[in-house]
Structure 1
């Protein structure tokens, strides 16, 4: 599979998930553009990969639209921004602002970036919009004290289904990479207990890696994944069953 000739924009491209997808896309031959809010990390990641970058706040409507307008075409749009979530606090002790923060951030950012990309893709009669997160019947233990994160994931999945239904007639696919947690994306000082929890919930006795994320994203975005739209691609190693 390859992405030669494809133009990919990755929001949150300097983060661990976005960076892994960017690395895989570059290896597959795509022209990759990283977007995010922190120039230093964007510059470093872009230099490492030989990609291009722009400072863009994915929750800023004008910034997203102006950035998208600089492209002649967009073939792949990936939104891997973090959701500004507060975890580890019981809901009954949370403020409404903390609970709603990931919902508002996630929905707003993914709506704006998807809309901007779709306007290009409709003219082209092709394109792939890719999200990261997903939902499913995870165990009660894994749902413990996650704040508004799962509500945000549910809202984005509703958006994904609606986008796929509206955009399919234009040859545009909309897909979510469904995660059960990627231990490598967790800061090293907090990783061990979280990795134990994530791996313990899987059927395979291991968690997906950042390399797995990049490879799956490349497959989905390529012509090899051309039959997949309106759905989640499950990379949970069995912690969530379809």
Structure 2
């Protein structure tokens, strides 16, 4: 197993994307620490991993609380003795589908502030540990935003959010590369499995996203998990400061 003996932390591990990554990490041998604000969803993913023979812990942690994140990182080190992968895929509280000209300032700024703050806090906590051990991966999810989507569907502040996080990723990769720490983004063109069935305009949105790909299809959660596991392995040891493109 390519992640045997590794330790991964997944903030937002009870969600669709975080759960898919966590299950893949565990399937490939890693011990997984799930962190988030809803114990029930975290526990459900942890139970799935345990049922499949893996090891997972579930902890209630607010990724916007730097003291809580630092304390959780210390707890991970006490349990597992190392930290090899840190992923933050918490929800950003974004509002989509409302044209910018009709959007409240708070709704536009919320995902930008939330995402940048949480990802900085969790990346900083991971970087301090990883630099000390001389290795590790900080993995982001999102990538450079395709603004052509906005011609048909208003994304609110999410485009700016993605671009801001990409700037953070590039800066971290430049600062940490010589110290053994990699920083990578996993990018898709959208994940139909994460869009609620009752979301107004869901079918049109999925069609629009798929039509803009070269392959005519969108990634699955399982594919996201497998690529995340690859990124965390030694097979990707020279990948840093870049996007892993699963966008088709």
Instruction: Calculate the TM-score normalised by the size of structure 1.
Output: 0.94
Q: What is the distance in 2 between the residues matched to 1:210 and 1:67?
A: 26
Aligned residue in 1 for 2:178: 169
Q: What is the distance in 1 between the residues matched to 2:149 and 2:11?
A: 31
User: What is the correspondence of 1:31-46 to structure 2 with a 5 Å cutoff?
Assistant: 31-46=31-46
| SS of aligned partner of 1:41 | helix
Q: What is the distance in 2 between the residues matched to 1:125 and 1:140?
A: 40
Aligned residue in 1 for 2:196: 187
Aligned residues: 237
Q: What is the distance in 2 between the residues matched to 1:27 and 1:140?
A: 34
User: What is the correspondence of 1:1-242 to structure 2 with a 5 Å cutoff?
Assistant: 2-50=2-50, 51-70=56-75, 71=77, 72-141=81-150, 144-190=153-199, 191-237=202-248
Aligned residue in 2 for 1:240: none
Q: What is the distance in 1 between the residues matched to 2:150 and 2:39?
A: 38
Post-superposition Cα deviations, 1:87-146, rounded to whole Å, max 9, x if no partner, equal 111111111111100000000000000000111101100000000001144425567311
Q: What is the distance in 2 between the residues matched to 1:79 and 1:170?
A: 21
Long gaps (5+) in structure 2: 51-55
On the 8 A contact 2:149/2:209 being kept in 1, the answer is no
On the 8 A contact 2:111/2:161 being kept in 1, the answer is yes
Q: What is the distance in 2 between the residues matched to 1:25 and 1:32?
A: 7
Q: What is the distance in 2 between the residues matched to 1:2 and 1:142?
A: 42
RMSD of aligned residue pairs (Cα, Å) = 1.3
Residues 165 and 91 from structure 1, CA distance in 2 versus in 1: closer, same or farther, beyond 3 angstroms?
A: same
Q: What is the distance in 1 between the residues matched to 2:49 and 2:242?
A: 30
Q: Which moved more, 1:141-150 or 1:34-43?
A: 141-150
| SS of aligned partner of 2:148 | coil
